[in-house]
Amino acid sequence: MSTATTPAPAAVSTAPEHGRTRLLRWWPAAVLALLVVAPWSALPLPGLLDGPVGSPGSLQLLATCLLFGALATGYDLLLGRTGLLSFGHALYFAAGSYATNMFLLEAGLPFAAAAVLGVCFGAALALVLGSVSLRVTGIGFSMVTLAFAQAGSILVSRDPGGFTGGEEGRAAPAELLPSWLVGIDHTANLYWIALAYLVLTLAVVHRAVRSPTGRVWEGIKENERRVEVLGLKPYGFKLTAFVLAGALAAVGGLVHLLLTGGSTPQTTTSDFTLSLLVMVVLGGTGTRWGPMVGGILYTWADHRLGDLAGSGAVADLPAVLRVPLSQPLFLLGVLFVAVVHLLPGGLARLPSRLRRTSEENR
C-alpha cells in the first residue's frame, strides 16, 4: 500500500505567488543591469531612438531622460510625500549649475571642489529660502516660492557682474573639466553619471520616506493639525523635506551642466517647475516609481515629438491634422489630459488597476 502523500492545496497555490513576489522584488536590479550595459548595445529601436542604443545621440537622450526622472523623484518629496506645492524648485536646480560654473570660471577651482561647493550652495539656498517660505502654508507657500523663483530668473537674465551670461547662458570651461567628461567620445561617461544620479536619488528618497521623519511627512500631508496635536512641530519636518529636495535638485543641476556643456536661463523659470509638476502627476504622486517614470516619459516625448512635428510625414498630412501634430506642446498636453482622465493616480496605478480588472472578470 502506497504511503505517498500529495502536497497540501494551500502549499501548491502559494508557490506561484512566492515566485511572482520574488520576481517583483528583483526587477529593479534587472532594469538597472540593462541600463548599465546600454552604452555597449548596438540594438536599434526605430521610433524610440534615432540610432542604436549605444550611439552618442541616443545616450545623450537617455541620459537626459534619466536626469529628469531623478529630478521629478526628488520634487515628489515635496508634492507627493509632504503635500507642499512649490513653484520654485527650478531655482535650486539652476543654483547647482550656475554656482558650479562660477566657481570654475571665476574662482578657478578644480572641478571636484567646484562641484561640491555648487551643490552646497544650492542646499544652503534651499535652507534660507525654505525657512522663509514655510512660515506660511497652503497657497501662500506656493506664491512665496513662485516669487523667489521669479526673482532668481530675473537676476540671471540681468547678468549682474557678467557672472550668468544673461539670456545666452554661460558655457562650462572645457579646459577646466576632466578630460573624460568632455567630447562626444565620452558621452557614455555622462550617461553613467546621469544613471548614478538617478540611483542616488531613488535610494535617498526611499530611505527618507521609510524613516521616522518620512512617516511624519505623511502625517503632515494627511492632516498637519493632527501632527501638531501629537506634540510635533511640522515646520522643522517640512524644512527638512524642502532642503533635502533642494539639495537633490542642486546635484541634478550639476549633472545637467555636464550633459549640456553650460548653464542656461531656461532652467530658472517657473515653467521649468511646472514641467516637473506635470512629470510627477503623470507618473503618480506619492509613489516609489511613478515620478521617475513620469519624468522619463515626459522628457522622451518632449524630445521625440519635436522631431515628429518637423518630419516630412507630418508635413504631407491634411491641414486639419498637420497643424495640431506640428505642435509638440499640443501633443504633450493631449497625452497629459488622457493619462489624468483615464488613469487617476498616474501611470504608477496602472498595474494595480489592471490586476483589479482581471480579478473582477474571473
Among residues 192, 167, 187, which one has the least CA distance to residue 263? 167
Instruction: Average the pLDDT over 134-147 and give the result.
Output: 93
The answer on 330 and 247 residing in a single domain is no
The answer on 274 and 242 residing in a single domain is no
SS3 112: helix
Per-residue pLDDT for 309 more than 80? Answer: no
How many domains would you assign to the chain?
A: 2
The answer on 264 and 132 residing in a single domain is yes
Amino acid at 174: A
Question: How far apart, in Å, are the Cα atoms of 315 and each of 106, 301, 307, 323?
Answer: 47, 19, 12, 9
The answer on 362 and 239 residing in a single domain is no
Neighbouring C-alpha atoms within 13 Å toward the C-beta of 138: 2
| Per-residue model confidence (pLDDT) at position 160 | 84
Confidence band (pLDDT; 50, 70, 90) for 162? confident
Note whether residue 163 is domain-resident.
yes
Which DSSP letter does residue 168 get?
G
The answer on 275 and 232 residing in a single domain is no
| Per-residue model confidence (pLDDT) at position 165 | 86
| Per-residue model confidence (pLDDT) at position 18 | 57
Note whether residue 180 is domain-resident.
yes
The answer on 94 and 137 residing in a single domain is yes
The set of cell numbers assigned to 301 is: 516625448
CA atoms of 162 and 169, how far apart (whole Å)? 10
- 34-38, 69-73, 209-213, 214-218: lowest mean pLDDT where? 34-38
Strands 170-171 and 262-263: antiparallel
| Per-residue model confidence (pLDDT) at position 56 | 92
The answer on 135 and 212 residing in a single domain is yes
| Per-residue model confidence (pLDDT) at position 63 | 96
Note whether residue 264 is domain-resident.
yes
The residue segments making up the domain with residue 325 are: 270-285+295-362
CA atoms of 304 and 323, how far apart (whole Å)? 17
Per-residue pLDDT for 71 more than 80? Answer: yes
The answer on 318 and 180 residing in a single domain is no
Among residues 110, 89, 85, 90, which one has the least CA distance to residue 100? 110
Q: Calculate the CA 141 to chain-centre distance.
A: 22
For the purposes of burial, counting CB atoms within 10 Å of the CB of 138, is it exposed (0-12), middle (13-18) or buried (19 or more)? Answer: exposed
| Residues 235, 242 contacting (CB under 8 angstroms) | no
Note whether residue 231 is domain-resident.
yes
Q: pTM of the entire structure?
A: 0.88
- 25-29, 120-124, 163-167: lowest mean pLDDT where? 25-29
What angle in degrees, to the nearest 10, is found between the helix axes of 90-105 and 111-133? 150
Q: Is the pLDDT higher at 225 or at 26?
A: 225
**Selection from 162-166, 230-234, 341-345, 358-362 with the highest mean pLDDT:** 230-234
Confidence band (pLDDT; 50, 70, 90) for 247? very high
Strands (E), the chain: 170-171, 262-263
Element (H, E) at 100: helix 90-105
Note whether residue 108 is domain-resident.
yes
Instruction: Average the pLDDT over 102-126 and give the result.
Output: 94
The set of cell numbers assigned to 140 is: 501662500
Per-residue pLDDT for 245 more than 90? Answer: yes
Confidence band (pLDDT; 50, 70, 90) for 12? very low
The answer on 313 and 257 residing in a single domain is no
pLDDT in tens, 337-354: 887 777 777 888 777 777
